[in-house]
C-alpha cells in the first residue's frame, strides 16, 4: 500500500475555518513524538527511507517503515506501520540490532476527515504550522489519489505548487546544518 501525501506550510486558523465550511469531520487532536532511527547496514538519508517509532500521548506506540519517494509530483511512498504493545521492548530490539536514534520530531496534530482524505494540521516543534492531505492507494490508483489531494488543497485555499516533499525530519536536519 502507498501513502499518497501532499504537505505545505499554512495558517491553521484559515484552514480550520475552511474545513468547517466544508463540513469536514474533526477526528482528534494528538501529541506525537517521532523517533527516527539510523540503520547499521545502509544510510537512510541516501536511500530516502525512514524507520520511525511514534509515541502518541501516553498510550499508543507505532513502528513504521517508509520507503523512498516513488514519484516527483507528491510525497508518495510505500509505508508499513503497525501498533506495538511495548515501546521499551521495540527500542531494545532496535538498539540490539544496531539501529541508533537519529532525531526526534515533536508535533501537535489535529486530524480531520473529508472526501476520503485525511487532512492533518501539524504544529511541529521548531518548524511551525503545516497542512498534510493524505490517503492510501494501491499502485494503480496513485495518480488519481494525488490529483484528488491537489484538488482538496485548492478547496482549502492552498496551492499544490507550494507543496513540500521533504519530511519533517529532513527539514529539521537541513535547518540544523
Condensed to tens digits (0 to 9), the pLDDT of residues 76-102 reads: 999 999 999 999 999 999 999 999 999
- 120-154 pLDDT tens trace: 999 999 999 999 999 999 999 999 999 999 999 99
> What pLDDT does 177 receive?
67
Residue bearing cell 503545516: 130
What's the rounded Cα separation, in Å, for the pair 70 and 150?
A: 17
Say what the pLDDT of residue 81 is: 96
So what's the pLDDT on residue 57?
83
Find the catalytic residue in 36, 112, 117, 168: 36
Model pLDDT, residue 147: 97
Q: What is the pLDDT of residue 136?
A: 95
- The whole-model pTM stands at 0.90
- Please say whether the beta carbons of 37 and 64 come within 8 A: no
Residue 19 has pLDDT above 90, yes or no: yes
Measured distance CA(173)–CA(177) in Å, rounded: 7
Is 117 catalytic? The answer is no
pLDDT band of 58, cuts 50, 70, 90: confident
Residues facing 111 on adjacent strands? 28, 120
Q: Say which CATH number the domain at 171 has.
A: 2.40.320.10
The answer to whether the beta carbons of residues 56 and 30 sit under 8 Å apart is: yes
What is the rounded average pLDDT of the residues 47-64?
93
What is the rounded average pLDDT for all residues in the chain? 95
Q: Which of 45-59, 63-77, 110-124, 158-172 has the highest mean pLDDT?
A: 110-124
In this model, does residue 162 exceed pLDDT 70?
yes
The span from the CA of 76 to the CA of 148, in Å, is: 13
- Interatomic CA distance for residues 151 and 82, integer angstroms: 30
In tens, the pLDDT along 28-55 reads 999 999 999 999 999 998 999 999 999 9
Instruction: Count how many domains the chain has.
Output: 1
* Structural domain containing residue 164: 2-175
Amino acid at each position: 500500500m502507498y501513502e499518497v501525501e501532499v504537505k505545505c506550510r499554512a495558517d491553521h486558523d484559515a484552514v480550520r475555518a475552511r474545513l468547517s465550511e466544508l463540513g469536514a469531520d474533526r477526528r482528534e487532536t494528538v501529541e506525537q513524538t517521532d523517533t527516527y532511527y539510523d540503520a547499521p547496514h545502509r544510510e537512510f538519508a541516501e536511500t530516502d527511507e525512514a524507520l520511525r517509532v511514534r509515541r502518541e500521548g501516553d498510550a499508543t506506540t507505532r513502528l513504521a517503515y517508509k520507503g523512498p519517494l516513488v514519484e516527483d509530483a507528491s510525497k508518495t511512498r510505500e509505508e508499513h506501520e503497525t501498533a506495538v504493545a511495548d515501546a521499551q521492548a521495540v527500542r531494545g530490539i532496535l538498539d540490539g540490532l544496531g539501529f541508533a536514534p537519529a532525531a526526534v520530531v515533536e508535533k501537535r496534530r489535529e486530524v480531520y476527515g473529508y472526501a476520503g482524505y485525511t487532512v492533518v494540521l501539524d504544529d511541529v516543534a521548531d518548524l511551525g504550522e503545516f497542512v498534510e492531505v493524505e490517503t492510501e492507494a494501491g499502485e494503480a490508483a496513485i495518480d488519481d489519489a494525488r490529483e484528488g489531494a491537489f484538488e482538496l488543497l485548492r478547496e482549502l485555499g492552498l496551492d499544490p505548487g507550494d507543496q513540500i516533499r521533504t519530511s519533517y525530519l529532513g527539514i529539521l536536519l537541513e535547518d540544523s546544518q
